[in-house]
Structure 1
Amino acid sequence: MLCKKCGTKLKDGHVYCEKCGEPVQIVPDFNPLDEAVLENVAGMMNPEEKSASDWKAIQEKPVQEKTVHTHSKPQSKALTPRRKLWILGIAVTLLITGGAVGFLTYRNHSYTYQFQKAQEYRDKQKISRAIEYLERAMELKPEDPAAYETLVEIYTEQHEDEQAVVVLEHMIDEGLATVEEYEELIGFYKKDERMSDIPDLILDCTDQNIRKELSVYMVSAPDVDLAPGIYYKNVEIELLADKGEIYYTFDGSQPTHKSHLYVRPIMLREGKNTIRAVAVSEDGYYSQDITLEYEIKLDQ
């Protein structure tokens, strides 16, 4: 590079001429990239000064059309007769299945249905089936005595007294029995020679009206003229009853009408004596029995 004043060649890096002292003016090399950057900056500052060629190029650029997506409902196909029949068949099947399920649910959980079926089978003399339906009815509605009463009737007709007694005793335990059921059970007890069970049956009844009605089956227990205890001499006891006869045992077993008939005072033996006695009415009904214990000591 030469000095503009004296023409002396300047050394690189010097800002003054060594010969004349003239300041050196540095002219940068042309860079087209710098020019483009300057033009763009100028365009941003004054967008209206863009060259016509640039705007033309932009205007001539093809515009890409936007794709518009539309979601239209697919057109429903017309149902053919075959397809209609197929759908109708499914609907009928579902209807029948639902009805069957509903009927089975009703049948298995309906007391009325079970009871009616039991009556039908009873009329047809299919007793085992009738009993099955009655037992199911009692499970569904244990507080209703109708099924129990019908079951007792069937067992009685079939001469299955033990089964009838079981049902009647259950009705009494559950508080479902009326006077009629009590009297029916008393009849079975008398037939089976279970007369000694009748007093407890009546006395255990909590319904005072029923107990009053059943008082005709009650017999007063016998009494004794000598209190139980230890005696140091020979003694005899006398048994008393308001009505009926007295039967007794010496071994502590339960007395019946087949035991010793009381006809005169009983002489007690030396040692321990256990006497059980019961009163029996003319109709064969028993009282509650009494137990008497005595000990006779003669060597004291």
Structure 2
Amino acid sequence: MRCSHCGAMIPDDQMVCPRCGTEVQIVPDYNPLDDVLAREVKGSVEGATRQIQTDDIRRYRRDDRTKNVNSTRVLSREEMDRIRDQRRRSGSRKTSGNVGRGTDELQRKQQGTGELRGQKRNTGAMRTQRQDTAELRRLRQQKRLEAAKRKRRKLLITLFILLALIIAGVYLVYVNSYTSMVNKGYQAIQSGDYDAAENYFNRAISKDRSRPDAYTGYAEIYVDQDDYESAEDVFLSAIETQPTNVEIYRAAIEFYMETEQPAKVSALLEDCEDQNVLSAVSSYLSSAPVFTPEEGTYNEVQQIMITSETGGDIYYTTDGTDPTVETGTKYEEPVLIQTEGKVEIRAIAVNANGIPSTVASATYTIEFPIVNAPAVTPSTGQYTEPTQITITVPEGYTAYYTMDGSTPDPESSSTEKYTGPVDMPENTQTIFNAILVNDQNGKATEMTTRNYITTD
């Protein structure tokens, strides 16, 4: 195909002239030569052919408009032969000049018809070329679509492979992860395979020693076998190496609560020196009781007060045993110590969460003072006049005496309780012995002896 602008050849697969850049114009399926042929035939055989009225042409074109609005009616061979016969029959009536002119017109018509047929062939070739170009475009479009489909298919396969690799990687990471080891450990406990469970929990601890789950699972191995001491050692060993790990402390406290050993919670926290840990588990703190006055030796009756910094109820004993909520006496008023000797008070405080504190104890010794032997008047001697014997009795004591030389004993019938001055016997010798007995502890002082002789 040649360019209509510069005449250069345009390849079939291009729509722009490679030389001048003119865009190829695609015309509809319309052949202008049909109209040229119609005009030639009409002019040449105007007098010899059947006249086609204007109305007939319009009607024909209306009927054929759906097929080709620009087409022109072409006479068939039979019509051409009939026209020629009519022309020959009418030729004798016309002059030779007219015959010559008609012959020339017929020749021109035949020549035009040949040219028209050549142009039709060229038009058909152009139409075929356009069809080939459209088919080529369709094939190329189809190839591009197929290439795009193949590309999408490859992309989907690649994405699927990547997704499978990611899933496989995630699975491999999980099966060897801390969580997976802990879960497998618990599964082993449920199946009774304690050796496998221990192995899984140890592997989990080696991956992350700061998390409490593996320690809890490890302790569960011993709890399942009723070995609470070994289970406790799991947590104590972990805390020993990680004294600031709040989560391990929480796990240990939970272990004590679940195994009904709340008293050990306070013992655990009592040894903790990290304030962050103590603050985090403050609800479990229960301070040991404090005694007022402090333990020691006293020479008089004492009232002992017991308090706790964290509050709660206080229970105590005075027989040397550790108190509990069930066995102790609930503290409601100061404890009175009024007997001489040693008394040990033990107490616990139970906070609002039911956590008992560690046991606090204090020992008190009461030793009442012993006064000297009682003062007795008059002194030993000989008396000729009636005289009264008096004993000085200090507060808190009671005096006892005998006049037959025996040792005073409050339980003996020969012993008299001193209530006031005693008359000295007349004309006789009297051995007067006296003691003082402490009213609180019953202890007696040393004995005072007087020897009286009376005469007239």
TM-score of the aligned structures, taking structure 1 as reference length? 0.51
Q: Does 1:261 align with 2:330?
A: yes
How far does the alpha carbon of each residue in 1:91-113 deviate from its partner, in whole angstroms, 9 at most, with x for none?
Answer: xxxxxxxxxxxxxxxxxxxxx69
Partner of 1:133: 199
List runs of 5+ in structure 1 lacking aligned partners: 1-111
Alpha-carbon distance in structure 1 between the residues aligned to 2:207 and 2:243: 12
1:117/1:130 contact within 8 Å kept: no
Residues paired across the two proteins, number:
188
Partner of 2:313: 245
Distance of aligned partners of 1:133 and 1:294 in 2 relative to their CA distance in 1, 3 Å threshold = same
The one-letter amino acid of 1:131's match is A
- Which of 256, 263, 275 is residue 345 of structure 2 equivalent to? 275
1:279/1:287 contact within 8 Å kept: yes
User: 1 or 2 for the larger relative contact order (CA 8 Å, sep ≥6)?
Assistant: 1
Alignment partner of 1:287: what SS? coil
- Which of 228, 235, 238 is residue 168 of structure 1 equivalent to? 235
Partner of 1:289: 359
Distance of aligned partners of 1:287 and 1:263 in 2 relative to their CA distance in 1, 3 Å threshold = same
Distance of aligned partners of 1:120 and 1:241 in 2 relative to their CA distance in 1, 3 Å threshold = closer
Distance of aligned partners of 1:202 and 1:232 in 2 relative to their CA distance in 1, 3 Å threshold = same
Alpha-carbon distance in structure 2 between the residues aligned to 1:215 and 1:198: 12
Alignment partner of 2:294: what SS? coil
Deviation at 1:244, TM superposition (A): 0.8
Deviation at 1:234, TM superposition (A): 2.0
Partner of 1:179: 246
Calculate the aligned-residue CA RMSD, in Å. Answer: 3.6
TM-score of the aligned structures, taking structure 2 as reference length? 0.35
List runs of 5+ in structure 2 lacking aligned partners: 1-175, 371-456
Distance of aligned partners of 1:226 and 1:130 in 2 relative to their CA distance in 1, 3 Å threshold = same
2:244/2:276 contact within 8 Å kept: no
Deviation at 1:273, TM superposition (A): 0.7
The one-letter amino acid of 1:179's match is V
Alignment partner of 2:348: what SS? strand
Alpha-carbon distance in structure 2 between the residues aligned to 1:261 and 1:174: 39
Deviation at 1:180, TM superposition (A): 3.2
Alpha-carbon distance in structure 1 between the residues aligned to 2:362 and 2:219: 40
2:243/2:272 contact within 8 Å kept: no
The one-letter amino acid of 2:342's match is K
Distance of aligned partners of 1:153 and 1:235 in 2 relative to their CA distance in 1, 3 Å threshold = closer
Deviation at 1:208, TM superposition (A): 3.0
* Larger Rg over CA atoms: 2
Deviation at 1:129, TM superposition (A): 4.4
1:117/1:133 contact within 8 Å kept: no
